[in-house]
Amino acid sequence: MSQASTEGTTGLPQGHRFAHYHVLSLLGAGGMGEVYLAEDTRLKRRVALKILPREFTLDEERLRRFQQEAQSASALNHPNILMIFDIGEADATHYIATEFIEGTTLRQHMANSRMNLREVSSVSIQIANALASAHAAGIVHRDIKPENVMLCVYSAYADLALRNVLPD
């Protein structure tokens, strides 16, 4: 997912209200849509708001499977799996609201610094534990890659989503 910090060229402008979310900035864009930093105006918390591309939602079966997977993933409770707060539709646009993780992707981290064996082990174990938890619930993550793993000070998250702690 490419990174950005202002409004998207084809997406929601900064300051836009979408459903009960206030768009703060574009975090990135990729094949699965655009992701925004937003404020949930009901619960007064920051969220990552993923807006699904229209072509993704035109296929009824694909949309049904996506909604079913989101419902299953939202039932997971694991320290290395991103929490899903909401799925819905507003203005004929489908969205997912998830926990916002402030950090960097594993891809960005690897591009900026060489990981030592301890870091690699820690991140790998956390990803494996998160995937094992998801698999035990019948959920298969079909797109594990460094862009879908978020690293933060206390943990790492994957885009189901996974969290990892980098050792001191």
Given the residues 59, 143, 159, 168, the one annotated as active site: 143
Domain edge (last residue) among 70, 99, 128: 99
Whether residues 29 and 74 share a domain: the answer is yes
Q: How many domains does the chain have?
A: 2
Do the strands 84-90 and 45-51 form a parallel or antiparallel pair, or are they unpaired? unpaired
108 and 89 fall within a common domain: no
Question: How far apart (Å, rounded) are the C-alpha atoms in residues 161 and 43?
Answer: 21
Round the average pLDDT of the chain to a whole number and report it.
Answer: 83
Q: Is residue 1 very low, low, confident or very high in pLDDT (cuts 50, 70, 90)?
A: very low
pLDDT at 66 over 70: yes
Does residue 42 carry a pLDDT above 70?
yes
Examine the residue annotation and report whether 143 is marked as an active-site residue of this protein. yes
The helix (H) or strand (E) run that includes residue 129 is helix 117-136
Q: Which domain holds residue 38?
A: 2-99
